[in-house]
Structure 1
Amino acid sequence: MSSKKALTLLLGLAAASLVMIEPALASGGGGLPWEGPLEQIQESITGPVAGAIALAAVAIAGGMLIFGGELNDFARRLCYIVLVAGILLGATQIVGLFGSSGSSIGVPLEAHEQAPAVAPHG
């Protein structure tokens, strides 16, 4: 067998094995030990308490910047940090204001309920 035929056979076998292994790679790998704590942190910083804290932080920091008069550089930077942290914590709340609730794209449930039933022919 020539080296060209061997290389072609080897590449063909490699491609076939990649095609056959795809379902195994697509299956779920189970829960990793750090997923639970990370999900709990995500729920904590995206919940209603975080939204209230973010709103208060933005209001207080904005008020300090507007009505604070002459702030030294440290106080001004601290206000900016609090303002940015409040905006970051409230980002999910801000997105929720626009009616977005995740990756839900499709026909609303009401449209399915109002659709006429189709009788089977036969």
Structure 2
Amino acid sequence: MSLCEIVRLEGYIQSSYLAVYPDKIMLLDGCCRADVPMVLDYIKTTLKRPVTDLKVVVVTHMHPDHAGGAHKFREETGCLIVSADKKKQWYSGIGGRTMHFVDIHLGYYVARRQGRPLKNLYYSASL
């Protein structure tokens, strides 16, 4: 099926992109957790499509603005999450858990620098 359009959505601390096809939608990166309601509302209200048309969420890496909403999207839509084939989790071990904590707080730092209100950015350290 041919692609209809790429839609750019302004997220909490980043832009997100939807690849919109006639019969399905793909999210190109998993957004922040705080962006999930906005993306789903865009699908329902603007595209006038069921949220279950979101079939795939691509996660390029595990930072909060790229993977933070992935699990929530899967919960809400039943979509497939696609990511790199890694032998171990991105945030594995004590160092990885520390980096997860730091990455979440860097997300808050970016939000504060952009003058955004405080929103929940917590997300699972494993995909």
TM-score by length of 1: 0.23
TM-score by length of 2: 0.22
The structure that has the greater radius of gyration is 1
Higher strand share: 2
